[in-house]
Each structure stands twice: as structure tokens, then as C-alpha cells.
Chains A and B, each alone.
Chain A
Amino acid sequence: MALAAKWKNMRASTRKKLLMLGGMLVVFAILQLLLSLDLLSNQIQSWLVPCCYNIILAVSLNLTVGILGELSLGHAGFMCVGAFVGAFVSKYFDTVNPDLSAWIRLPLALVLGGIVAGLFGLIVGVPVLRLNGDYLAIVTLAFGEIIWNLFNVTRVSLDNGSFRVGVGGTGLSNLSADAVPLVDGSLGITSVPRLGKGGFAIAFVLAFLTVLLVMNLIHSRTGRAIKAIRDNRIAAESIGINITKYKLIALVVSAFLAGIAGVLYAHNAGQAVATQADYGYVMSINILVFVVLGGMGSTLGSMIAAVVLTILPEWLRFLSDYRMLIYAVVLIGMMLVNGSPAIKAVVDRGRQVVKQKIKNLFIRQPKKEA
């Protein structure tokens, strides 16, 4: 009873958050159970971690696009930074000290990857977010393209305990025979230690934390300030909200989380290779599609869209040549369903009916007996 009362007294946002997180836990528990019983095909197993990092990417981009209301077209750029920094950290420790436990190596890679990506968010944001208008879209688009191209030509070698860094060309000159290439230009960072068996659990914990922290942020003093800027900048300023500060907070947190997703991405693939498909604007647009289809500003929507759109193109592989065609049709269908008031009415009515039925379960039964 006490719990029920507590539930009633909670903020509506807190109730929603707990339901969402609870749902995530249930799904995770089921999948983990199936995984441990070895009931999942290899194909399905390979979707699990991508679903998690795409959830992180979608939820974090939603913070910029849906909550702050600024268009970012370079989310994959922040992810790229995280992927390379994280892969580099892991590769370095794996080279120098292979005995180092993954429990130390991986968290370090995640934190550093996130922080450096966040710093890039700051660098991009400081000049751009002082302006109003679509400048962020333009600058992040350019940033995203520059960053993967930059990593594509970067070379770092470990030569007798010291780093040798170079950009472009065919390689670093005057390396000793036992030099180890860590980042090798267009070949990227190879043989990064993989996540291994517990990969899904790790990725899930990160996705779970991301959703938790982002929901906390959205429904807080800081989050309200960010939403106020989105809804009406002039009014927000008039009540004393520092516009640039809160825009920057949103962008940096968003970039930080994208960096973490990048670290996961690299460790799942076992490599970080800077290509257009992985980190270019195509990927950025893909993430944006998660957010837009999920309904801008909706964390739950972003999550669901991320999962569905991660699995769908893979699942449609049996259609071979028609795969992308069907995918496009499904996208358009989702868009129509999402925005249609008629379908929304049906869903709302369904929700009411279910709510009433649940209520009846608890309330009406004793009456019947009497």
C-alpha cells in the first residue's frame, strides 16, 4: 500500500522514467536468459550490441535535436572521436600491458572516449551556439566530414615507448624495426580487444545509464531551461536564462554520450576504421532518422526507432536487392503512422481501455462477490 501511495505521489516524469527503465530491464533479462540458454541465432546475437549503441546515439542526439531544438548533422563525428580515442586507449594498453584487466581498460577507454568527444562538442559549440539559426547544422555537417577524414590520414606508432605521430603520406619515417603501429592511416586501428561474451551486458548497462541520465536531465532545472530555450528564446532570456550556457550543456552532454557509443562501436567491431559509411554524414543522417521517426523530443520513441531501424535492414537481408526499397517504404509508413491524428486517436482509445481494464482487475472483483 505504501508503495502504491508513493507511486501516486511521484512526479509524472519519474513514473514514466521508472516504467521505461523497468521495461528495458525486462527485455534485457529475457534476452540474457535466452542468450545463456543458447537459444538465439548468431544473427540475432550480432544485433544486440548494435541495438544498444544505437539507442545511446539516438537518445543523445534527441537531446540536441528534440530537447534543445538545434539541428545537428554531425553526430557520427562525435561518435568517431569516441571510437578512435577509445580504440586507441584499449589498443595501447593491450600492446603495453596485455595482462591489464578489461575491467580497468574498458572503463578507461569509455570515459576518455566520452570526455574527448565532449571536448569536441565544446569546441564546436562555443563559437556556433552563440548564433541563432541553422548554423549548428552547417558546422556540425562540416565537422563530421572533417573528423573522419582527419582520422583517415593519422598515423601513430609506438616506437620504443614513445609515440610517433604523423599525418598523411605513406608512413612514418625512421621507425625502428620493433615499432608498433597503433593508428595506421586508412587502415585505422586494428585488432582492438573485443567486448567478448559479456558484450551485451556491458552495452546494455551503458544504454540503460544513458537513458536514466538523459531522462533525469530532461526533467530537471537544467532540462527545463534547455526546453525553454527551444520553445521561446526571447522569453527564456527575459527570465534570466543564460542561453549560450544551456545550449552548450545540451550539446556537450550529447557529444559525450555519442563518444561513449563510439567506444562501444569500435570495441564491438574490434577495429576503428574511418570510413564514410561508419562515421560520415550517412551515419549522422541515420541517427537523425531514429530521432525524427521516434518523434522529436521523445526518449522512448528514439529508443524504439533505434532498435527497429537497427534490426530491420539486417532482417530484410533475405530480400537481397529489394532490401533498401522495402526499408524506404517502411520508413515512409512509420512517418505517416507517427504523425497521423487518426491513428493517435486509436492508440489513445486503446490506452484508455487497457487502463480501465487494469483498474477493473483491482477494483471491481470484490463487488461481484457481494
Chain B
Amino acid sequence: MALLDVQNLSIRFGGLQAVDQFHIAVEQGQLYGLIGPNGAGKTTVFNMLTGVYKPTSGTILLDGVDITGKNNVQISKMGIARTFQNIRLFNEMSVLDNVKVGLHNQVKCGLFTNILRLPGDYKTEKKMNEKAMQLLEVFGLQDDVKLRARNLPYGKQRKLEIARALATNPRLLLLDEPAAGMNPNETAELMQTIRLIRERFQMTILLIEHDMRLVSGICERLTVLNFGSVLCEGETSAVLRDPEVVKAYLGE
């Protein structure tokens, strides 16, 4: 059974059918790409998967459990984490704290334990620091822990956002245009990072991307979205040669 199984997912904003009868099946451990021209509804699909939008109809199964219509906090706890197209970090907080916020639901420690600095506070704080440092080391950010997130260079901000998403201990990681705004070198490095995450954490990854080099380089399967509905799906190389897909991207 697929880790993520979506059937007939649709959403309507007033008169606009943003996504129509979307379906996708992502297997455990797969690196799956979701592509399509601008405005096709890719990010809207992500927003429905993470509970930001409630779909008008359809079902989303995560490992066989129906998560349709749950809110984003519940879905985060159930194991879907995401990054954003326009990076959304906690800019005024340190790099380390950004990851520690990601670990929020991995530890238990209440308000009074925090305020009164009971022993539990020191214990969880130590645990969080260790876990956060491990994650930051994977991304080569261990020397920047004290910097404010806003002062990181662009490429590192992307990495930090992924590290923060991984800190929530997800089963499925959604990356929304991770290579947006990157130069070819940075993109190549990002591809390495994504491969690394997948091996290191046995992570299932679904990503939206426009950069075809990245898509053809690392994705195993693709789904192409056009005007809100699925145009085609299949093995990466086959999909990218499909004349319908070429038409949707380049016109006739």
C-alpha cells in the first residue's frame, strides 16, 4: 500500500475550480515529483495535503489513515512536514532555535516546568539541543547555529527550512520548489542534499519543482498537473517525453 494515497481530490474557491479530481500514490521511500506550469494548482495540492485548505471533495490517506479535513497541526503530528515556496523561517530567532521549534512536538514539557526551570526543563532542553545539532550537522549548518536565521545566505536558508521540517520527525516530506531562485551550482548541491536526506532518514519525499535538471536528476516518478487536473503520470523519463506534457509547458 502507498504511504500517501490521494483520490479524487478537488477544491473550489468560489467560481474557480482550482484542483479537480487530483490523484497520486507515493510509495514508501519514493522520491516523487509534482510538476506543471505556473498556476496549475501544485501548491494548492500541498496546502490541502497539509491541512491549510479543506478540500471540497476527495480523500487523503496517509499510511491507510484518513487525514482529509484535519487541521495543519494535527497533520503535522501525524507525520507530514513541508517547506514553502517563498522561504518561511523564524527570521528573528537563531538557527538553532529554528530547529528546536521544529522539535516542539517531539518532547513533552509544560509551561510551569519551563517557567520554574524544573529538572524536566533542563532534560528536554539538553535532548532538543543534541537532536537539533545532529540535524544541523547533516546540513552543514553546525557553524551557524548562533546566527539569526535572516542573516543566513539564501542557500543555507533553504537547508535550514528543510532541517526544521525534518525536526518534526515526519514520514512524508513535501518540498515546495526547493530550487527556486538558486543558481546551477546551488541546485546541484541541493540535489545532493535531497539524496542525502532520503538515504539518511529513509524519507519519502514529494516535491514541486520547475527546474527540469533537478526533476530529471532525482525524481523517480512524476505527476504533471495542468489547469488543476492531472495531465499524466509515470516514470520520469517517460513523462518528460510525453508530447502532451511538452505542449503544456512550451505551447504548440
**Contact indicator per residue, chain A 220-244, by CB within 8 Å of chain B (1) or not (0):** 1111110110111011111111110
Check B101 against A241 for contact (C-beta < 8 Å). Answer: yes
B76 within 8 A of A: yes
Give Cα A234 to B85, complex, Å.
Answer: 12
Question: Which chain A positions have C-beta within 8 A of B128?
Answer: 221
A217 within 8 A of B: yes
Check A236 against B115 for contact (C-beta < 8 Å). Answer: no
B192 within 8 A of A: no
A-B CB contacts (within 8 Å), total count: 103
Check B115 against A220 for contact (C-beta < 8 Å). Answer: yes
Check B73 against A217 for contact (C-beta < 8 Å). Answer: no
* Min distance, Cβ B130 to any Cβ of chain A, angstroms: 14
**Contact indicator per residue, chain B 140-160, by CB within 8 Å of chain A (1) or not (0):** 000000100000000000000
Give Cα A253 to B82, complex, Å.
Answer: 32
Question: Which chain A positions have C-beta within 8 A of B1?
Answer: none
Check A235 against B84 for contact (C-beta < 8 Å). Answer: yes
Check B124 against A227 for contact (C-beta < 8 Å). Answer: no
Question: Which chain A positions have C-beta within 8 A of B84?
Answer: 234-235, 238
* Min distance, Cβ B136 to any Cβ of chain A, angstroms: 16
Q: Which of B32-40, B61-69, B164-172 is the contact stretch?
A: B164-172
Question: Which chain A positions have C-beta within 8 A of B52?
Answer: 234, 237-238
Question: Which chain A positions have C-beta within 8 A of B164?
Answer: 235, 239
Check A242 against B97 for contact (C-beta < 8 Å). Answer: no
Chain B interface: which size bin?
Answer: 35 or more
Q: Which of B23-31, B106-114, B212-220, B244-252 is the contact stretch?
A: B106-114
Question: Which chain B positions have C-beta within 8 A of A223?
Answer: 114
Check A220 against B88 for contact (C-beta < 8 Å). Answer: no
Question: Which chain B positions have C-beta within 8 A of A243?
Answer: 73
Most buried by B among A216, A231, A297: A231
B12 within 8 A of A: no
* Min distance, Cβ A241 to any Cβ of chain B, angstroms: 6
* Min distance, Cβ A12 to any Cβ of chain B, angstroms: 8
Give Cα A224 to B115, complex, Å.
Answer: 13
B226 within 8 A of A: no
Question: Which chain B positions have C-beta within 8 A of A221?
Answer: 100, 104, 107, 109, 114, 121, 124-125, 128
Given contacts A221-B107, A225-B101, A241-B104, contact A231 B92 (CB under 8 A): yes
Check A240 against B121 for contact (C-beta < 8 Å). Answer: no
Question: Which chain A positions have C-beta within 8 A of B89?
Answer: 231-232, 235
Instruction: Choose one: A12, A217, A242; the contact of B115 (CB below 8 Å).
Output: A217
* Min distance, Cβ B89 to any Cβ of chain A, angstroms: 7
Question: Which chain B positions have C-beta within 8 A of A224?
Answer: 93, 97, 100-101, 104
A329 within 8 A of B: no
Check B76 against A240 for contact (C-beta < 8 Å). Answer: yes
Give Cα A249 to B112, complex, Å.
Answer: 11
Most buried by B among A223, A224, A225, A249: A224
Give Cα A243 to B51, complex, Å.
Answer: 14
A213 within 8 A of B: yes
Give Cα A228 to B90, complex, Å.
Answer: 6
B116 within 8 A of A: yes
Give Cα A228 to B124, complex, Å.
Answer: 18
Q: Which residue of B lies closest to A249 (CB)?
A: B111
| Count of A interface residues, CB-CB < 8 Å | 29
A-side interface mostly = helix
B10 within 8 A of A: no
Give Cα A222 to B118, complex, Å.
Answer: 14
* Min distance, Cβ B124 to any Cβ of chain A, angstroms: 7
Give Cα A240 to B117, complex, Å.
Answer: 24
Check B50 against A238 for contact (C-beta < 8 Å). Answer: yes
Check A231 against B115 for contact (C-beta < 8 Å). Answer: no
Given contacts A213-B115, A216-B114, A217-B114, contact A240 B168 (CB under 8 A): yes
B41 within 8 A of A: no
* Min distance, Cβ A291 to any Cβ of chain B, angstroms: 16
Check B104 against A240 for contact (C-beta < 8 Å). Answer: yes
Q: Which residue of B lies closest to A214 (CB)?
A: B115
Question: Which chain A positions have C-beta within 8 A of B55?
Answer: none
Give Cα A266 to B133, complex, Å.
Answer: 49
* Min distance, Cβ B187 to any Cβ of chain A, angstroms: 23
Check B73 against A235 for contact (C-beta < 8 Å). Answer: no
Check B77 against A232 for contact (C-beta < 8 Å). Answer: no
Give Cα A289 to B169, complex, Å.
Answer: 42
Question: Which chain A positions have C-beta within 8 A of B179?
Answer: none
Within 8 A of B (CB), among A187-230: 213, 216-217, 220-225, 227-228, 230
Give Cα A297 to B114, complex, Å.
Answer: 19
B102 within 8 A of A: yes
Q: Which residue of A lies closest to B100 (CB)?
A: A224
Check B73 against A240 for contact (C-beta < 8 Å). Answer: yes
A227-B101, A228-B101, A237-B73 known, 11 other contacts, Cβ within 8 Å: A216-B114, A220-B125, A221-B109, A225-B101, A225-B104, A228-B93, A234-B52, A238-B72, A239-B165, A240-B72, A240-B77
Cross-chain pairs A/B with CB under 8 angstroms, 5 sampled? A220-B121, A221-B124, A222-B111, A232-B89, A240-B104
Interface residues of A (CB under 8 A from B): 11-12, 213, 216-217, 220-225, 227-228, 230-232, 234-243, 249, 253, 297
